[in-house]
Structure 1
Amino acid sequence: MEKYEELLLALRKIIRATDLYSKQLNKDAGLTAPQLLILREISAQTGITASAVAQNITLSPATVSNIIDRLEHRELIHRTRSTTDKRRVVLSLTTRGADLLARSPRPLQHHFIENFCALEAWEQSLLLSSMQRVARMMDAEQLDAAAVLEVGSYENH
């Protein structure tokens, strides 16, 4: 097998692992990975706005806005207009949203982060630069992507 074939196989395995996790998440919690990511972000910061959520998780404001609409429709979050600045709308979890978040599984990347942090600094840098180069080679630098593997921060809320 050629080296590029081995690399593409490894990438497909990574994609498959995140896909399987996303399907299991949807089955177990009734949420997509981006929905869980946004719920975690709203839970982490009191009075956060949709634009701040988008910036923090590095997804486009339009994508986040659509997901927030769906979460609000499901009564998992609610929007509240600020009393001090009527232009500002803050997001918060409903009781139902907080309960669902508390029951949701640990993020996929938790195990990855533990293993990555156990590596020597030089090996972390090598992996990072290699993956960044692969992303450039695949013309993927400008794609919307959260800074984590599919779901929220690695801390349990």
Structure 2
Amino acid sequence: MLKDEELLVALRKVIRAIDMRSKQLSREVGLTGPQLIVLQEVGKRPGVMVKQIAESINLSPATVTSILDRMEARTLISRIRSTEDKRRVGVFLTESGQEALDKAPLPLQEHFVNRFSALEEWEKSQMVATMQRIATMMDAEKLDAAPLLEVGNLDKPII
């Protein structure tokens, strides 16, 4: 097999692993990866605002708002306007949101981060540089991306 084919096979395996884990998460908890990440942020910081969530997970506020809209429709979170400043809206977990968070498996990126952390610094640097180069070669360096492993639309509904 040619080197470019070997690389494409490896990339395809990574994409398939992400897809399989996303489907497992959806089956077990009914959440997408991004929904779980947002739920975790809200669980860590009750009353957090959309802009703070967006900054924390590297997504646009519009994307986070769309994710929150879907989660609010499923009563996983609630948004409460501040009594001191009407412009501020805090996001809180509901009881069912906390239950979903408690039942959720470890997100794939946490599993990955645990293994990545065990590498030597030079290996980490080499991997980051290589993946950044691949992103550039695929004209993807300017795409909006969060540090989470999920495929598909970030705000897709769960059916």
Same fold (TM over 0.5): yes
2:9 paired with 1:9: yes
Alpha-carbon distance in structure 2 between the residues aligned to 1:30 and 1:104: 9
**Aligned length, in residue pairs:** 150
TM-score, normalised by the number of residues in structure 1? 0.91
| 1:2 shift after superposition | 1.4
Q: Which amino acid aligns with 1:79?
A: R
2:99 paired with 1:110: no
| 1:67 shift after superposition | 1.1
Instruction: Note the residue ranges of structure 1 that are not aligned, 5 or more in a row.
Output: 151-157
| 1:127 shift after superposition | 0.7
Instruction: Note the residue ranges of structure 2 that are not aligned, 5 or more in a row.
Output: 151-159
Alpha-carbon distance in structure 2 between the residues aligned to 1:145 and 1:13: 20
Q: CA RMSD in A?
A: 1.1
| 1:13 shift after superposition | 0.7
Instruction: Deviation per CA, 1:1-34: give whole Å up to 9, x if none.
Output: 1111111111111111010111111111011111
Name which of structure 1's ranges 104-113 and 79-88 shifts more when overlaid on structure 2: 104-113
Q: Corresponding residue for 1:28? A: 28
Q: Percent identity?
A: 55
After TM superposition, which residue ranges in structure 1, 4 or more long, deviate above 4 angstroms?
none
TM-score, normalised by the number of residues in structure 2? 0.89
Instruction: Deviation per CA, 1:81-136: give whole Å up to 9, x if none.
Output: 11121101010100110011001111112332222112111111111111111111
**Structure 2 residue matching 1:47: 3-state secondary structure:** coil
Q: Which amino acid aligns with 2:96?
A: R
Alpha-carbon distance in structure 1 between the residues aligned to 2:101 and 2:107: 11
Q: Corresponding residue for 2:125? A: 125
| 1:144 shift after superposition | 2.0
- The aligned runs of 1:1-150 (5 Å cut-off) are 1-150=1-150
